[in-house]
Amino acid sequence: MKPMQNLTLSSLLLWLVWSPAQALESDRKQKITLDGGGCILRTKDNNTECPNGLTIKQGTMVIKGDYGLIHHKDRGIESVKMTGKPAHFEQKMDSGELMVIKANQMDYVKADEKIYLNGAVQVSSDMGVSRGEAMEINLLTQEISSLTDDPDQRFYMEIEPDDKQ
């Protein structure tokens, strides 16, 4: 993965906007289901490859991609790579809002408790939309950070006004 580059005001604003929204804790206690077409389980290599698409569900979390590669460890999931045009992730937050993420590639790494997003990344919620080319989501802190080696990497966010005030 590329090293993280802190973006001054944009990163702070993104952290302030997204940190209160927590994914449902009850989702983490639900069973995980994997559903794919033409999947190949390779027990010797500890992986499952789904070249014809993969859907992963756990509670309110749903991830769909045109391609999926799952690495297994100790009767569990070590990492998941999903690609698509775009791959799609959605999950309900404690606040009741639905967070939707789209990216050309999503890599979940259990040891890091992070999802790495690359290519045409878009993160949407009731608050607004964030866009970039490379981001990571820390699943424990719910922080979303922009990643890049390129100092010219652009981060863009639109915030919807709160009409209830």
Give a yes or no: residue 85 inside a domain.
Answer: yes
Residues 30-66: pLDDT tens digits?
888 889 989 999 999 999 999 999 999 888 889 999 9
For the chain, the domain total comes to 1
Range of the structural domain that residue 141 is part of? 8-158
| 9: pLDDT strictly greater than 90 | no
Give a yes or no: residue 163 inside a domain.
Answer: no
Residues 70-120: pLDDT tens digits?
999 887 889 999 999 999 999 887 778 888 999 999 999 988 989 999 999
Give a yes or no: residue 110 inside a domain.
Answer: yes
- In the chain, DSSP finds a helix count (H) and a strand count (E) of 1, 12
| 162: pLDDT strictly greater than 70 | no
| pLDDT at site 152 | 63
Identify the band that residue 154 occupies on the pLDDT scale cut at 50, 70 and 90: low
Pairing of strands 156-159, 144-146: unpaired
Asked if 58 and 27 count as a contact pair (C-beta separation under 8 A), the reply is yes
Whole-prediction pTM: 0.74
Rounded to whole angstroms, the Cα distance separating 33 from 55 reads 8
Asked if 93 and 58 count as a contact pair (C-beta separation under 8 A), the reply is no
